[in-house]
Amino acid sequence: MTASNFVWPHGKRVAVVVSVLGETWSPGKSPSYFPRTSPLKQGHVDLAGINWSQFGGNEGIWRITRTLDDLGIKGTYFCNGRLAELYPDALKQIAKSGHDIAGHGYYQDELLTYMTPDEERATIKKTLDLLGNVSGTRPRGWVTPIYGWTEHTNDFLVQENVLWCCDMLDGSVPKRRETKSGPIMLLPWSDFVDNRVLRASPRNFLDVYKDTFDYLYTHEPMGFINLGFHGHFGGRPLMTAMLRQVLQYFQGFPDVWLARHGEIAQWMIDAKVEEPSYAKRFFA
């Protein structure tokens, strides 16, 4: 299939994937920000920040999973490897509910970009092994914490039998990339996730995604939306309420493909879609 006649299966106008992030931090560390507006002085362990970050594994992931299950939508959970050790029951429930699990580094604050190639390769393998051992299925998807990938990451992922990853910021629809070890499908990440709005109005999340969807649905056939949501941010009731409304809005349109990332990647491989650039899609 050429890019100029690229369409989603059965003529669907917009494809939507739900990305849920299950993140953990190394001992004594916490997210770089949260709703507290007064940062602690340097050198002090932020006990409140650490406690706040644990909401995802304790409750948030469970609430998001229950919401997706209730709506009949299958998502993809991007999990740090440490999550499998700290919250194995949550990971098992994700798999039991039929959602996909993808890798997301071992710790959220342990960045691939600062590692040697051997350290990076070992971290990727350890993460995928841990998640697979607990969930029962070794992940075939990945996204690198804070976009901190290296020139080796895609190649190492292919070596670990990863089919697709979301380390892509230079386009708005998925595309295929070659590595020294073989091809990998790249899926765009979201530019607007739940942590953008928690300090302001959670309703901004609903407004942004409704407006984006309306634009793509009306003006750009083959549109793609990656809905990003964190367990420790979005799993709180005030944000999950917005997620439910957004997804119910999408479900009101018959020609929307609500899919898992792996389904998108596999369909593109089977349909031989390699790089549907914007220029080819609309100016060919």
Instruction: Give pLDDT tens digits for 76-121.
Output: 999 999 999 999 999 999 999 999 999 999 999 999 999 999 999 9
Q: Please provide the average confidence, as pLDDT, over all residues in the chain.
A: 93
Measured CA to CA, the distance from residue 247 to residue 233 in angstroms comes to 17
Out of 8-12, 17-21, 101-105, 196-200, which region has the weakest mean confidence (pLDDT)?
196-200
Single out the residue of 149, 146, 223 nearest to residue 179, CA to CA: 149
Residue 62, φ and ψ in degrees, nearest 5: -65, -45
How would you write 116-184 as a 3-class SS string?
CHHHHHHHHHHHHHHHHHHHCCCCCEECCHHHCCCCCHHHHHHHCCCCEECCCCCCCCCEEEEECCEEE
**Coil, strand or helix at 68:** helix
Distance of CA 31 to the CA centre of its chain: 17
Backbone dihedral region of 31: left (phi > 0), alpha (psi from -120 to 50 degrees) or beta?
A: beta
**Nearest-5° angle of CA 75, CA 81, CA 84?**
75
Q: Which of the four pLDDT bands, split at 50, 70 and 90, describes residue 4?
A: very low
pLDDT digits (tens, 9 = 90+) for 256-282: 999 999 999 999 999 888 788 899 889
CA nearest to 223, candidates 248, 257, 253, 274? 257
Report which of 131, 29, 31, 28 is spatially closest to residue 85, judged by C-alpha positions: 131
Tens of pLDDT, residues 43-70: 888 899 999 999 999 999 999 999 999 9
Rg value, the chain, Cα: 18
pLDDT higher than 70, residue 2: no
Inter-residue contact 100 to 77 (CB < 8 Å):
yes
The CATH number, out of the four listed (3.40.50.720, 3.30.950.10, 3.40.50.300, 3.20.20.370), of the domain defined by the range 3-283 = 3.20.20.370
Distance CA(111)–CA(149), nearest Å, equals: 8
Per-residue pLDDT tens over the stretch 118-145: 999 999 999 999 999 999 999 999 999 9
The pLDDT of 147-159, averaged and rounded, is 97
pTM exceeds 0.85, yes or no: yes
